[in-house]
Amino acid sequence: MYSPETTFSVYPFTRQPEGDEVVIGRIETGVFLAVPLEAVEALDCLASGKTIREVGDIFEQKYGERPDLDEFLDALEKKSLLKAVAPGEEAQLTGTTDVAPRIRYHFSNFPHRLAQRLFSKGVIGACIIVVTAALIAMTFEPSLRPRPTDLYFPDHRAITWAILIGASYLTIFIHEFGHLIAARSLGINSRIGISNRLWYLVVETDLTGLWAVPKRQRYLPMLAGVLIDAVSGSLLVLLVFATEKHWISLGAVAARLARGMAFTYLMRIVWQCFLFVRTDFYFVIASLFNCRNLLKDTEGFLRNQLSRIFSFVRPVDQSAIPLAERRVIRAYSVLWLGGRLFAVFLLFAVTIPLAILYLRNLSLSFKVGFSSNPSDFIDALVAAAYFIIPTSLGLMFWMSGLVKRVRI
């Protein structure tokens, strides 16, 4: 495909050791690849102006074998990591030669120093103190512990749920903004988008750029959202605690809302334990054990276990997965199954009982009818819409994803 005398313009790329491989990529395009160490050596040779033939000579002299670089270089050119230089042209890297699409990052102008201060050791230490104080308070005052009934509001449902849902979506964005700012503290830009997990509507942050920094620096941005949720929920628990001790005065409605939001924060953290989907905890585990596609490989492993029992289940070839990674997959499969069981448990322990309470409450309002109590009927109708609309949007995303999989 390429002439032996072909030279290349190699775009500046980041490199981070990752087990036996090196992750290379370009932050501005969001493209990262895991390649052998020898591939990076070849790129460095090409970047210095050497031709394919000269690189082959160097490798033959050093390793006793001449590599076939055509397929590798073609893949890198398609990923816009390098560009073949036409005969007679000089290798150069200018904005006009780079045709790779640039990613539009969000809040990329957020001050780097401010981001570093927000996620400094002192601030993180203060967060740990707040969470510890809340845990101690709940230990000695069991009434402070968040319960599913904290989300049940039998009266003034519309206004209460309007405030609660508005606060929930705002804090979800704050959760994701925490990921973004923590990444920004490392000089990495990211993006926030809307997606779905199963039939739940979610907001998520693309932290692909973290591949450009050492592994030990990636964990804080990954866990920043959970840290914010834990601190926020703890502050609400301490607020209710101070109210019950009559240290401050908080209205009855405000206290109920504080309890409701505290339970919401708890469920949001519990959600991260659903390791059968890509949660914050999943990405931490995958990064910790150098797994490229832990979730998909785990599902393949479980499928292979089923194929031993049911002949109609086709096994998946996982022979190419490194042995060390297979050990992680085997252990993670237990967490995957545990996450599924935990999700089912919460469905019957929290979601269904809470839904039954509201169904009984709303059905009573609908039975009475609009003419008997217009305000209560409208209140019930609006409250019902709060549940139906987000769930419908989530189902739409989920079904759309299923249709795409079937087509593929």
User: What is the phi/psi pair of residue 325, to 5°?
Assistant: -70, -30
User: Total structural domains in the chain?
Assistant: 2
CATH code at position 75: 3.90.930
Please check whether residues 233 and 148 belong to one and the same domain: yes
pLDDT band at 300; cut points 50, 70, 90: very high
**Cα torsion angle, 91, 94, 96, 98, sign:** positive
The C-alpha atoms of residue 188 and residue 243 are separated, in whole angstroms, by: 41
Judged against a pLDDT cut of 50, whether residue 191 lies above it is answered with yes
6-20, 115-129, 288-302, 365-379: the lowest-pLDDT one: 365-379
Please check whether residues 136 and 24 belong to one and the same domain: no
Residue 279 falls within a domain, yes or no?
yes
Please check whether residues 20 and 164 belong to one and the same domain: no
What share of the chain in percent tops pLDDT 70? 87
Residue 25 falls within a domain, yes or no?
yes
Q: Which two tokens stand for residue 333?
A: 């499969």
Buried b (16+ CB within 10 A) or exposed e, 358-396: beebbeebeeeeeeeeeebbebbeebbebeeebeeebee
Please check whether residues 28 and 126 belong to one and the same domain: no
Please check whether residues 80 and 157 belong to one and the same domain: no
Judged against a pLDDT cut of 80, whether residue 102 lies above it is answered with no
pLDDT tens across 199-209, in order?
566 678 889 89
What share of the chain in percent tops pLDDT 90? 58
Please check whether residues 171 and 308 belong to one and the same domain: yes
Q: Are 82 and 46 in contact (CB under 8 A)?
A: yes
The reported pLDDT for the residue numbered 394 is: 61
Please check whether residues 342 and 226 belong to one and the same domain: yes
Residue found under tokens 């964005």? 173
Residue 100 falls within a domain, yes or no?
no
The C-alpha atoms of residue 90 and residue 65 are separated, in whole angstroms, by: 29
The reported pLDDT for the residue numbered 96 is: 40
Buried b (16+ CB within 10 A) or exposed e, 142-177: eebebeeebbebeeebbebbebbeeebeebbeebbb
Cα Rg, the chain, nearest whole Å: 27
pLDDT tens across 26-56, in order?
988 888 998 999 999 999 999 999 999 999 9
The C-alpha atoms of residue 82 and residue 100 are separated, in whole angstroms, by: 10
Judged against a pLDDT cut of 80, whether residue 376 lies above it is answered with no
Please check whether residues 157 and 56 belong to one and the same domain: no
Q: Amino acid letter at 147?
A: R
The C-alpha atoms of residue 221 and residue 182 are separated, in whole angstroms, by: 5
Domain limits for position 141: 112-407
What contacts 24, CB < 8 A, 6 or more positions away? Answer: 13, 14, 15, 32, 33, 35, 39, 40, 43, 81
Q: Are 376 and 368 in contact (CB under 8 A)?
A: yes
Directed axis angle between helix 252-271 and helix 219-244, to 10°? 150
Please check whether residues 282 and 397 belong to one and the same domain: yes
Residue 255 falls within a domain, yes or no?
yes
pLDDT band at 95; cut points 50, 70, 90: very low
Q: Are 190 and 115 in contact (CB under 8 A)?
A: no
What contacts 114, CB < 8 A, 6 or more positions away? Answer: none
Judged against a pLDDT cut of 50, whether residue 147 lies above it is answered with yes
pLDDT tens across 225-257, in order?
999 999 999 999 999 999 999 999 888 889 999
Out of 85, 104, 124, a domain closes at 85
Closest by alpha carbon to 224, among 237, 238, 205, 251? 205
Judged against a pLDDT cut of 90, whether residue 222 lies above it is answered with yes
Residue 101 falls within a domain, yes or no?
no
Mean pLDDT of the chain: 87
Please check whether residues 70 and 157 belong to one and the same domain: no
Residue 351 falls within a domain, yes or no?
yes
Please check whether residues 49 and 117 belong to one and the same domain: no
The reported pLDDT for the residue numbered 82 is: 92
Closest by alpha carbon to 186, among 203, 211, 164? 211
Q: Which two tokens stand for residue 98?
A: 């780079």
User: What letter does residue 348 receive in the DSSP assignment?
Assistant: I
Residue 106 falls within a domain, yes or no?
no
Residues linked to residue 8 through DSSP beta bridges, in sequence order: 84
Residue 96 falls within a domain, yes or no?
no
User: What letter does residue 12 receive in the DSSP assignment?
Assistant: P
pLDDT tens across 55-86, in order?
999 999 998 989 889 899 999 999 989 998 87
What contacts 324, CB < 8 A, 6 or more positions away? Answer: none
Please check whether residues 332 and 238 belong to one and the same domain: yes
Closest by alpha carbon to 3, among 91, 65, 73? 73
